[in-house]
Amino acid sequence: MQPFTPFYSPLTPGFASIFIPIILVMVLWTIVLKGYSLWYAARASQKWWFLALLVINTLGILEIIYLIWYRPKTASEKKEVVEAAPVHTSSPE
């Protein structure tokens, strides 16, 4: 029988400890994307998108879909590139 130590920690070196950084990165990724997408949905008064983004956890997949295709475009994104008319200068004679 192996001796039980009261100071056992899941952070001890071993197979399980390699998953802790992966889980931390996934949590950070989800929090950032969820906050960003919820902010856009709230500012655009999109109640159904806000509720869906708040309740459904997909590790950022639904948030990316919303941010790419369904978020409202800002005024700077809607501006089309307008070609400037050529400027004619007269040369001194």
Instruction: Report CA torsion sign: 12, 13, 15, 19.
Output: positive
DSSP state of 11: T
Instruction: Write down the pTM of the prediction.
Output: 0.61
**pLDDT in 10s for each residue of the chain, 93 residues:** 566 666 666 666 666 677 888 889 999 999 999 999 999 999 999 999 999 999 988 888 888 899 899 888 776 666 655 566 666 677 666
* Angle, vertex CA 42, rays to CA 68 and CA 59, nearest 5: 50
